[in-house]
Amino acid sequence: MGVIVVVGAQFGDEAKGKITDYLAAQARYVVRTGGGPNAGHSIHLAEGAVVLHQVPCGILRAGVTSVCGPGMVLDPKALEEEIRTLQERGLFRGELIISERAHAILPTHLVEDAWEEELRSATNPTAVLGTTRRGIGPAYADRYGRWGIRFGELIRPAKLAERLELLYASKPYLKNLPDRSQVLADLSEVATRLAPYVRPTEPILWSAVERNESILLEGAQSALLDVDFGTYPYVTSHHPTSAGALVGSGLPPSEVTAVIGITKAYATRVGAGPFPTEVAGDMGAYLQREGGERGATTGRLRQVGWLDLVLLRYVARLNGFSSLALTKVDVLGGLDEVPVAVQYVTPSGETLTNYPPADAEELARVTPVYEKMPGWPKFNERLVERIRSEGAAALPSTLKQFIDYVGRETRVPIEWVSYGPRREQTVWLGRSGGRTAAAGISAWAG
């Protein structure tokens, strides 16, 4: 297995959690490389659904070590509560390690997050980002401003007091910060309980590489929300790309075996920002309902749209995908036809096929050009049972056409197809997942 990177290929919510959990069955380590409690991964187990916010999904499997990597920002209190909930449900099955280099989200960051959104709204309502207000952006800002507090300092009381004093001094513009002494007392208390999990993680992963153990790097959010390469400023505060996964784990690029992109058969977005293929009206409501399109962390209703190959081609090149996992094909089951955006036309008449405008306002003004693919049947119990017994060969022929079409258009083979939320509702297409510059590789040939 080597080192495998999992990257969201759209605007997030592509069912990365499900695919990562599926792949974790063969992993020794699962490392989350960025983000914090603003991202939720929903995993559907026999014991019921579980939503993971900060703990990597490897925790659900015995014998797997989950690592909160150095690229993360973690809310200590929320993290402790998540650990406790998993333990009470009997789902804390693996081992958990927290990088000493990961940064802490503090009560000051939550206050600052709300203040920033209110400032944007008061200044220009169209500039509101729609953040989760969980302190992610301010925590990353303090990280790069060198004001932040890392978990290695969080568990050292004297150092924590010193760093907290400096942090407070850097924020004279915030008038409603919580009492510093109380914050120090609360953080010291929770840090004592989290201390056994805090360790240097890079040497552990380097040793695992030397032993040829399998490592899965788990992404949060998606490449189109990358702070540099996404729809700026409507992005997250870190780098949820394959390159960002390396920075957020401490592993070198030479050790990466594969980069897997996760894409829905359609598209969704939550929060503000351009969404060229958005579908409104009855069809939009249908996709939201059939897909259960609400955020795992926030519960916010997601915007829905058709698959966008312009953005998918762009993200595939940006991340160097070796293969794709196509999820939620069951949601489109029963439609007569499935539109796919194959290019954009700009207001000036320019045609774009694999590189979107960098400016969010320009992206919002493009007109998608669609290719309409034949639909496939609903995933009734009979079809699901056939797939369970026969594998990929039992997928409907028109769905196979859709799969091959996406593979050809992106020049990335589709290796997995997910047709439901449960662990067993994923089928492997039998490919090795190697990259190819050819027009596409059919899973059904030979």
Closest by CA to 12, choosing from 218, 216, 225, 217, is: 225
131 pLDDT tier (thresholds 50, 70, 90): confident
Which tokens is 433 given? 């997942």
Quote the CA–CA distance of 393 and 405 in Å, as a whole number: 17
Contact 351, 345 (CB under 8 A): yes
Marked catalytic residue, from 13, 75, 308, 330: 13
Higher pLDDT: 366 or 46? It is 366
Which tokens is 28 given? 């020794």
Q: Tokens 């026999």 belong to which residue?
A: 46
444 pLDDT tier (thresholds 50, 70, 90): low
**125 burial class (0-12, 13-18, 19+ CB within 10 angstroms)?**
exposed
Q: What is the mean pLDDT of residues 53-64?
A: 96
Residue type, 224: L
The CATH number that domain 267-446 falls under is 3.90.170.10
Which tokens is 25 given? 């069955």
pTM summary value: 0.93
Q: Is the pLDDT of residue 357 over 60?
A: yes
The runs of H, that is alpha helices, within 89-170 are: 107-123, 136-145, 151-154, 157-169
Contact 200, 100 (CB under 8 A): yes
432 pLDDT tier (thresholds 50, 70, 90): very low
* 359 assigned to active site: no
Q: Is the pLDDT of residue 285 over 80?
A: yes
Average pLDDT, the chain: 93
Q: What is the mean pLDDT of residues 154-174?
A: 96
If you write DSSP's letter for every residue of 317-343 in order, what string do you get? HHHT-SEEEEE-GGGGTT-SEEEEEEE
Please state which of the ranges 124-138, 188-202, 343-357, 366-380 shows the lowest mean pLDDT: 124-138
pLDDT for 132 equals 79
Please state which of the ranges 1-10, 12-21, 426-435 shows the lowest mean pLDDT: 426-435
Q: What is the pLDDT of residues 76-124, one digit of tens each?
A: 999 999 999 999 999 999 999 999 999 999 999 999 999 988 888 888 8
* 186 assigned to active site: no
Q: Is the pLDDT of residue 440 over 90?
A: no
Which tokens is 15 given? 């069912």
Domain parsing of the chain, residue ranges: 103-196, 267-446
User: Any idea which fold 103-196 has?
Assistant: Adenylosuccinate Synthetase, subunit A; domain 2 (1.10.300)
Q: Is the pLDDT of residue 445 over 90?
A: no
Closest by CA to 407, choosing from 332, 339, 309, is: 309
Quote the CA–CA distance of 3 and 33 in Å, as a whole number: 13
How many angstroms from the chain centroid is the CA of residue 335?
28
Domains 103-196 and 267-446 share a fold: no
Marked catalytic residue, from 41, 103, 109, 238: 41
Burial state string for 146-164 with b = 16 or more CB within 10 A and e = fewer than 16: ebbbbbbbbbeeeebbebb
Which tokens is 356 given? 């979107």
431 pLDDT tier (thresholds 50, 70, 90): low
Q: What is the pLDDT of residues 210-268, one digit of tens each?
A: 999 999 999 888 999 999 999 999 999 999 999 999 999 999 999 999 999 999 999 99
CB atoms within 10 A of CB 287: 24
The gap between the terminal CA atoms of the chain, to the nearest Å, is: 25
Cα–Cα distances (Å) from 231 to 137, 275, 355, 358, 412, in that order, read: 16, 9, 12, 7, 23
